[in-house]
Structures are given as structure tokens and as C-alpha cells.
Amino acid sequence: MIYITLSIFCSVTVAVLLKLAKRYQISIIQAVTYNYLTALILCFLFFKPDVSVITPAAPWPIYISLAVLLPSIFLFLAASVKNLGIVKTDIAQRLSLFIPILAAYFIFKEDFNNLKFIGLAVGFVAILLTFIRKNDKQSESNKWIYPVFVFVGFGVIDVLFKQIALHKELPYTTSLFTVFCLAFLVSLIIVIVMVLVKKIKLQLVNLICGIILGLFNFGNILFYLKAHQALAKNPSTVFAAMNLGVIVVGSLIGILIFKEKLSRLNYAGIVLALAAVILITLSQIYAV
């Protein structure tokens, strides 16, 4: 369980760093660029990918899609944490698992049992309750769009990574290295354009934040993979512990440390989100 605990810690720390970004005037896109450079280097050192096996036959459309989506979703993640807090953003990210599950049903024609259907229904209600806001101002009500993008974005990214995993001709870690490399290049192009066109300055604080962000971002991936290796016969345990852990720890930090205000309906949404993850996990265990 040590790997799961470390993965949860790294995942929640990323959200905390994004929460603190505004306070220290961090440029998110610059930090994200350095983040992918750091993750790229760590991926090379830890996984030692064999880049020679990357050929034109590799799933390049998926690689390129991920290269664009990953830095983009980081920006929406940061905006969601900034505007709606860690609690709601973490729930949106974790409940994004519904998208690959729905893809499995409608696209890959997998059989679903009643527990999974119930879990999806509960999760849908959880999303609605979690994002309800008392403030009806137009500027405030529009902020729900950020966690929606987080929800959809992470769900699509999960589906694309699963597609890469099915590409048996290439090791998964080599594909991961390729995606990080392309994501860094996309982020770098955006930063260069901003520097040349908008005259944005490169600052040392963004480099430092980006490196720290990259360490925890990569740590989340590394420990999650190691948890699956250590508990190879119990993948549902890893799945449940990771998702439940992030929702619980993220909620506690958001409420206790950052004093994020939630309504009773929001709290009900958190409880239902936990219930949804448990139901979906049980549906995997008891799948026929």
C-alpha cells in the first residue's frame, strides 16, 4: 500500500501547487512546460525507453492528440483549482473514469452488470451535486465550465492511454516517453509564441515551480504503475484506493487548510462520489 499512498500524495500535491500558483504569481503555461521537461528526463532515467522501436507504424495520431490534450488539460486543471477549489476539481478528475467506462460499453461493447450501471448513475448525481453553487452571478456561474473540461479532458486522455496500452508492438513506457516529449514541444511552442507576441517574460520562479510540479506529476505516474505491479492480482484494489484516497485527502486539504466553502449539497456530492467509485470497483470484482 506504500506505493498507493505515495501516488495519492503526489496527485494531491499537484493540485495544492496549482492552488498556490496565483499567490506566487506563477505562469501556469511556463510551469507546465518545465513540468513536462522534468517528467521527460525522469521518464528516461527510470524507464530507460528504447526510442529505436518508435517507427512510422506507431500510433502517432494518438501520440499527437495526447501531446495537445495534456498541456491543455493542465491549464483547465489550474483554472478549476483557482476558481472552484481543490475539492471539486479532484472529484471532477476522479469521476472522469466514467468516460472510459462508457467508451467500453458503447464503443468496445463490453458487458456491464447492474453494479456498474448503478455506479454510473450515482456518479452522475454526484457530479451535479458537487458543482452546485449558491452564487447566481453570471461571472460566478460560468466557472463550472472549468471542472467540466477537467472531467471530459481526463476521461478522453484515459481512453487514449488505454488505446496505447493495447498497442502491444511498443512498450508502454516508450510510448509514455514519446508522449511527454511531444507534450513538452507543444508547451514550448506556446511559451515561445507568448514571449515573442505578448512579450511575456521568462522567470526563474516558473522554472522552480515547473520542476517541482514535474517531480510530483511523474511520481504520481511512477508509484501508480508500481502499485499495479505490486498488486498485479488485485488491480481493483489499486483503482479503488487511488480514487477514493485522492477524493478524501483532496477534500480534507481543501476544506481544512484552504477553507473552501461547500454547501450541504456539495458534501452530499462528495459522499455520492465515493459511493460511485466503490460501486464501480465492486462491479469489476464481481464481473462475470
pLDDT per residue over 140-170, tens digit each? 557 788 999 999 999 999 889 988 888 888 8
Q: Cβ(75)–Cβ(69) under 8 Å?
A: no
Q: Cβ(131)–Cβ(80) under 8 Å?
A: no
Q: Where are the domains of the chain?
A: 2-285
Residue 252's nearest CA partner among 188, 168, 244, 280 is 244
Mean pLDDT, residues 248-274: 93
Mean pLDDT, residues 175-197: 94
Q: Which amino acid is at 192?
A: I
Q: What is the pTM of this model?
A: 0.89
Cell numbers placing 72: 491543455
pLDDT band at 138 (very low <50, low <70, confident <90, very high): very low
| Main-chain dihedrals φ then ψ at residue 55, nearest 5 degrees | -130, 175
Q: Which pLDDT belongs to residue 236? A: 75
